[in-house]
Amino acid sequence: MKPNHSENFPSVRLTAGMYALSKLSAAGLTFTLLGLISLAAPDAAAGWLASPAYNVYSYALTVSLLADGLLRLTGTRSRAFLLIIYVLAGFGAGLWLAHDQGSGWAANASTGIAVLLLFRLNQLAGEHIPELLPMFALFVPLLCLLL
């Protein structure tokens, strides 16, 4: 009988599915935190806080996928390099948001850095606490659609 070597390797579909679930969960948790901040400080609701759901799912999620792709292409596992890539990606996301909304680039770019670093922390939280994944990946976007 021929031994099955695939038992030792995780499924590509499972790995990709968990990555997607982790990204969606990070987006949901980031959206929740930004939404709570915008409720607590309604006067500061500009830029990233103007429409947290749209901004997180359009800008932060897209740019974080690009940052992860760049990290994957370089093959570097250094935490310092990861931090640099996410800071640059957050700066880019802020510039992109400022361009689309016609607002000040400096405030949006610096907030973009903070949002993308928060996004990365939320992704790590989802990887360490798997119970967060379905709640923030599935239920928060559904709740957002209902409201």
pLDDT in tens, 17-61: 889 999 999 999 998 888 888 888 777 667 777 788 888 988 999
CA distance 147 to 141: 10
> Within a 10 A sphere around the Cβ of 105, how many other Cβ atoms?
15
113 and 94 Cβ atoms separated by less than 8 Å: yes
Residue 85 confidence class, pLDDT cut points 50, 70, 90: very high
Number of structural domains, the chain? 1
The whole-model pTM stands at 0.83
Q: What is the pLDDT of residue 147?
A: 65
Q: What is the pLDDT of residue 114?
A: 93
45 and 101 Cβ atoms separated by less than 8 Å: no
Crossing angle of helices 12-40/61-74, nearest 10°?
A: 140
The answer to whether position 132 is within a domain reads yes
The answer to whether position 1 is within a domain reads no
Residue-range definition of the domain harbouring residue 64: 16-146
Please report, rounded to a whole number, the percentage of residues in the chain having pLDDT higher than 90: 37
The answer to whether position 3 is within a domain reads no
pLDDT at residue 3 tops 70: no
CA distance 50 to 146: 18
The answer to whether position 67 is within a domain reads yes
Q: Which of 44-53, 63-72, 86-95 has the lowest mean pLDDT?
A: 44-53
- What are the E-state strand segments in the chain? none
